[in-house]
Chains A and B, each alone.
Chain A
Amino acid sequence: MNLQEYFSLVFSDYTLRTITLGTAILGAVTGMLGSFAVLRKQSLLGDAISHAALPGIALAFLITGAKDSNTLLIGALVSGLLGTFWIRGIISKTHLKSDTALGLILSLFFGFGMLLLTFIQKQPNANQAGLDKYLFGQAATLVESDVWLMAIITGICVLVMLLFWKEFKLLLFDADYTKTLGFNTKIIDILITTFIVLAIVLGLQTVGVVLMSAMLLAPAAAARQWTNSLSTMVFLAAIFGAFSGVFGTAISASQDNLSTGPVIVLVASVFVIFSFVFSPSRGLLFRQIRFISNRRDLELQKTLSFMYHIAETHDDISHPHTIKILNNFQGFTRKTLQKLVDKNYVTLDGTMWSLTEEGFETAANLYNQNIKTHE
């Protein structure tokens, strides 16, 4: 199947449609919530939560023996939330910094989860196969009920976000100030964190424990490059996330042996790289271009004002001077001189230059501006 076939089949084929819808919804909700995580400087929280969910999945299987995704995801939710509260506890009760707390909980829970997984795999019954799909995700196992669950939780999440938009924004920007205005910051905080945990748990089946945090961070980091408004950022992150889901699924479905989760994450990374380079206001490319052109302008202006100082001493402003004088001036090059000629500020005659009327005026104004800014 190639990409074209995929897009013609996506509406008619049940499996393809389910998987595509699932990854699109997942990308949208994680992108949205990821914006909050990124702006709170809690980028790593997602990574810790997703790793912390692994022992929950294994324990849920050991206790119930059931392998349906809902049971296992409830286990993931419980241990994910537990990990989150432990992280909070460590940060508030000890002197450890948040990155230490995150790293600690991440490796502790993940290690315990791996231990349980190997234990389960050594068991004699054949039922245990397939639990390791939660490590790297397996989008192909998505069924319609999974997608419904995702859609409902995403719906609730959007609703709560719209309702508490003002409070979320306030807390993200200035938590102390939020307290003084009489808002219970704990409630807002728990709301945001719970939804982040929910979104991560929803994605475990599709993207897996290891790569899940990329779904949270990549769309948000890309979106931040394009806008200076929080609402636009959240919206863009949702769009980027959804597109990553759809394109990732399309690419992996049209090739053999490409698992969906990693491809989705790679597509999301392409969004990030593209945004980091090409965003008009914050992107590397345009920033570098602006930087170079500003430098050139300044060089030109400095040379012009240097010439002005020389010309000023003569009654005739267009009195010719030798180019050699300019060699003493740092920043002067043949190129800048040629540019000044092109702009009609200077005329050249052999090895002599002279300012034109226009050049003199411009330089005089430059000079006045300089004086003004110095005052």
Chain B
Amino acid sequence: MDTMKNAHSKDETPASTGVLAVKVDDLTVAYNYKPVLWDIDLEIPEGVLMAIVGPNGAGKSTLIKAILGILKPIAGSVSIYGKPYHKQRSLVAYVPQKGSVDWDFPTTALDVVMMGTYGSLGWIKRPGVKEKKAALEALEKVGMLAFKSRQISQLSGGQQQRIFLARALVQDASIYFMDEPFQGVDATTEIAIINILKELRKAGKTVIVVHHDLQTVPEYFDWVTFLNVKKIATGPVMDIFNDDNLTKTYGINYKVSVQK
């Protein structure tokens, strides 16, 4: 675990505490015969802001879904803070891809954010004043308080993404998994979202993000995992975000000017 000592990123607070937030062992997922993920071992230290990068079809979303138990892996195990995932659900929050739901569903922004409280409420119990207050606070954090009563189909793509983010914030988890939160959002929203992610890390949370824009990796993240069916590399951005790993992952001779 020596590498973790290098996890200090620029001027920000030291990220890693040396504790493992997520540990994935021998994870293999296949829809048919061809594996989508092959024998993934992954250790994610607590307190990092990590990007998962890789080409289309590399299994980035699948990795998150398998870790969260949405997909059943063929083999492998996942532990969260040393215990099986199903015992640690309350520590984990998920932001799915925006396109995975029907935004014409008859409900309001506030209502969607309230869904973040359903997990801690458990079966049957209804959300009350406390839950509503938490949801309103989350809406304020993502700058969407003014839209709380809006029907969700009347929100822009960026606003919908913020609503999803707020729903995860309400869960008050320790580990956040986000599937392409920057997809299809404008520059203003992207900055707003990355600021929230950085705040989460400052508060000691672990944030794992499926990310597409390689240019912004060094600026946004302090930890990175290269994935293309197999895990290519994982570690601090300053150590491993280089042309060599990019070429291994994307197959072509990749040149990205890494600003350090």
Contacts and interface: CB of A to CB of B under 8 A. Distances in A.
Interface of A: 39, 41, 163-167, 169-170, 172-174, 176-177, 179-183, 224, 227-230, 232-233
Contacts of B124: 163-164, 166-167
A183 B121 CA distance: 11
Contact of B94 (A180, A227, A232, A233): A180
Contact of A179 (B69, B105, B108, B123): B69
A177 B96 contact: yes
B115 A173 contact: yes
Contacts of B102: 39, 41, 173
Given A167-B123, A173-B115, A176-B100, A227 B89 contact: no
11 contacts: A39-B102, A166-B124, A167-B124, A169-B107, A173-B112, A173-B115, A176-B96, A177-B96, A180-B89, A181-B119, A230-B105
Nearest to A176: B70
A233 B105 CA distance: 11
Nearest to A185: B70
Nearest to B177: A180
Interface in B170-227: none
A227 B106 contact: yes
A173 B123 CA distance: 17
Contact of B121 (A166, A224, A229, A233): A166
Contacts of A173: 101-102, 105, 107, 112, 115
Most chain B CB neighbours (cut-off 10 Å) among A165, A173, A181 = A181
Interface of B: 65, 68-70, 86, 89-90, 92-94, 96, 100-102, 105-108, 112, 115, 118-119, 121-127, 151, 167
B127 A166 contact: yes
Contacts, number: 77
A227 B107 CA distance: 9
Contacts of B65: 176
A181 B168 CA distance: 10
A230 B112 CA distance: 12
Contacts of A183: 118-119, 123
A165 B127 CA distance: 11
- 3 nearest CB pairs, A to B: A181-B119, A228-B151, A180-B94
Contacts of A165: 126
Contact of A228 (B70, B96, B107, B125): B107
A286 to B, nearest CB: 16
Contact of A166 (B90, B93, B106, B126): B126
Contact of A230 (B90, B101, B106, B123): B106
Given A170-B115, A180-B92, A229 B70 contact: no
A182 B123 CA distance: 10
B107 A179 contact: no
A232 B111 CA distance: 14
B175 to A, nearest CB: 11
A182 B96 contact: no
B45 to A, nearest CB: 22
Nearest to B95: A177
A220 B144 CA distance: 31
A180 B69 contact: yes
A174 B107 contact: no
A292 B96 CA distance: 38
A165 B114 CA distance: 14
Given A227-B106, A230-B106, A180 B127 contact: no
Given A176-B94, A179-B70, A180-B92, 6 more contacts: A167-B124, A169-B107, A181-B89, A181-B119, A182-B122, A232-B106
Contact of B118 (A166, A172, A179, A230): A166
